[in-house]
Chains A and B, each alone.
Chain A
Amino acid sequence: MKNVLLICRKELRSYFASPIAYAVMAIFGLIFGWVFFNASRDFVRFTLLQSQEGGGPVSVNDSIIRPLLGFAGTIGLFLIPMITMRVFAEEKRTGTIELLLTSPVKDIEIILGKWLGAVALYACVLLMSILNIALLFAWGKPDLKPVLVGYLGLLLQGGCLLALGTLISTMTKNQIIAGIATFFLSLLLWLLSWYTAFDTTVTSQVLGYLSIVTHFENFGKGVLSSKDVLFYLSLTYFSLFLTARSLESLRWRA
């Protein structure tokens, strides 16, 4: 555990010593802020209209927070490859992987440390959206619990994709290739939900189940469902397990 934290800290240090961390956080902050601005402007217009017509109050949670959190996950899809592409590819290219693999540290500790570092950075990225959400709490009365569940979902979803990215990063020395491959794999997992939208056959239901987005829907609503939590956790575990095998095969092949 000590080694895991040691490597995790080193990873975070590397992220923040390079422009990557700042770039990812800035991109996320800008896009999220802009979408947030539009969403809340429309919301204000809509509620004004509603009150003139004598309708009831509109939920801030349902009309702003829920779609926005879903949207944050979508931006994450694009940012996660940028976070994980260097994780192992860079170490392989510069040869520092030799230092890690010849130190008295278990492979799994290296992998967990690196993955946790990436998750921590992703958490920092998500933090950029907190300011916007906080504004809603300052001027409105949204429900807090669904927001927390939503963020937990985002973190689980991110952790899952970050694990996939880490796996892909062990397979190449080239950061760009690692990044692009991760991006397309995440995109595929995301698109699976489109494929199944208007179809009810068994195949499409299985594929739909594998989509990384459909499992977020419950979290967005503020529903903490064990099915979805398990899906994310098991996919994360599976990816990290494969990462360990990939790192092991590196020794036998290299």
Chain B
Amino acid sequence: MIKVEGLTKRYARTVAVDNISFEVAKGQIVGFLGPNGAGKTTTMRVLTCFLPPTAGSASVAGFDVLEHPMEVKRRIGYLPETPPLYPEMEVSEYLRFVGKLKGISSADIDRRVDEVTGRCAIGDVRDKLISKLSKGYRQRVGLAQAIIHNPDVLILDEPTSGLDPKQIIEIRELLRSLAGEHTIILSTHILSEVEHTCDHVIIINQGKLVAIDTVANLTNRLRGAEAVHVEVEAADGHPDPTQVQQCLEQAPGVSRVILKDSKDGHLRFEVESLKGSRIRAELARAVVKAGWGLNELHAVGLSLEDIFLQLTAAEQGAAATKQGEKTQ
């Protein structure tokens, strides 16, 4: 559905996006992840034909953004970082305006407005002035505006920024419900966002593509080291937490042991392995050998947050050493 090849965008002094290539298949939700200033917004602006690329190409549904911008624009719904709202308009009036701008015929416009107001749960503010709306409602009107012409592709720039947790959950559910019929790209610098809503992740940092994979694979990929959750039964303060901790630390392949909590007769630990070792069997053996009750033992995936930090930190580290070599 979306194909980006060797995309580069250079501004006067900086390179915002540097030779990025990726593809998004129909019906996927893809998270565009990166710290602030990584080039997410720029990439999205190229895809929406707002900015032309300096080099490389981008196409949506087979139409190139430079060659056939009209066809691309017809197929794209776009929610910029700040929703593009006219404060002096009423919500329904605004949606009608955008709908017509996107080419919906007068015969269909009322039906479409009804549909998106229902979908985005803004029916109760239909007749309010946009300037009177709260941040959460504005964001939803922005989203309604993006889907009004039922576009094949939705491009959302930080759709949940500045919302409270309840609103974030609502937007996430809305996005989930939109997946399938629409292909969605959303950018964010918050990881839990991607974990919750996306199938695929594209991580970029300082304009460069760092990783592109499914959320599940990406979690696995960085799991060179294994984290294991261990729960040991304890009664009347026996066994002693420090005793168990020492015992686990001595098992082969263990790098460190963290005591998570020790409530109502359960001692919970998180054990991290050295890179490449498989420690679950060793841990089970150690606990049983000491004669304690082993309640639970399972692998914990590294959270995406850690992965993200690792990925971007590694990149920066590599760049730093490269530069160091150059100066030497």
Residues of A near any B CB (own CB < 8 A): 3, 6-7, 10, 13-14, 17-18, 94-106, 251-254
Contact = CB atoms under 8 A, between A and B. Distances in A.
A97 B48 CA distance: 13
B50 A102 contact: yes
Interface of B: 12, 45, 48-52, 70, 73-74, 76, 78, 80-82, 84-89, 93, 97-98, 100-103, 145
Contact of B80 (A10, A13, A95, A103): A95
Contacts of A10: 86, 97
Given A94-B87, A95-B81, A103-B102, 18 more contacts: A3-B101, A6-B97, A10-B97, A13-B89, A17-B89, A18-B88, A94-B84, A96-B85, A98-B80, A99-B80, A99-B98, A99-B145, A102-B48, A102-B78, A105-B101, A251-B51, A251-B52, A254-B50
Contact of A104 (B81, B87, B89, B102): B102
The majority secondary structure among interface residues of chain B is loop
A99 B100 contact: no
23 contacts: A6-B101, A10-B86, A13-B89, A13-B93, A14-B86, A14-B88, A14-B89, A17-B88, A94-B84, A95-B82, A98-B45, A98-B50, A98-B80, A99-B101, A100-B101, A101-B50, A102-B50, A102-B78, A103-B73, A104-B102, A252-B51, A253-B12, A254-B51
Given A103-B73, A104-B73, A251-B52, A98 B78 contact: yes
Contacts of B103: 104
A253 B12 CA distance: 8
Main secondary structure of the interface of A (DSSP, over half): helix
Nearest to B94: A10
Contacts of A251: 50-52
A150 B250 CA distance: 99
Nearest to B131: A17
Contacts of A104: 70, 73-74, 101-103
Nearest to A254: B51
Contacts of B85: 94, 96
A158 B185 CA distance: 46
B303 to A, nearest CB: 33
A21 B50 CA distance: 31
Q: Most chain-B CB neighbours within 10 Å: which of A3, A95, A99, A101?
A: A99
A23 to B, nearest CB: 15
A11 to B, nearest CB: 10
Among A10, A14, A18, A104, max chain B CB count under 10 A is at A104
Contact of A96 (B45, B50, B51, B84): B84
A102 to B, nearest CB: 4
Contacts of B101: 3, 6-7, 99-100, 103-105
A186 B70 CA distance: 36
Contacts of A103: 73, 98, 101-102
B199 to A, nearest CB: 25
Nearest to B93: A13
Contacts of B78: 98-99, 102
A102 B76 contact: yes
Contacts of B93: 13
A13 B93 CA distance: 11
B73 A102 contact: yes
Nearest to A3: B101
Q: A-B pairs with the 7 shortest C-beta distances?
A: A99-B84, A17-B88, A104-B73, A96-B84, A102-B48, A103-B101, A104-B74
A14 B98 CA distance: 15
A13 B86 CA distance: 11
Contacts of B48: 98, 102
Nearest to B98: A99
A97 B50 CA distance: 10
A215 B86 CA distance: 38
A98 B155 CA distance: 13
A236 B80 CA distance: 33
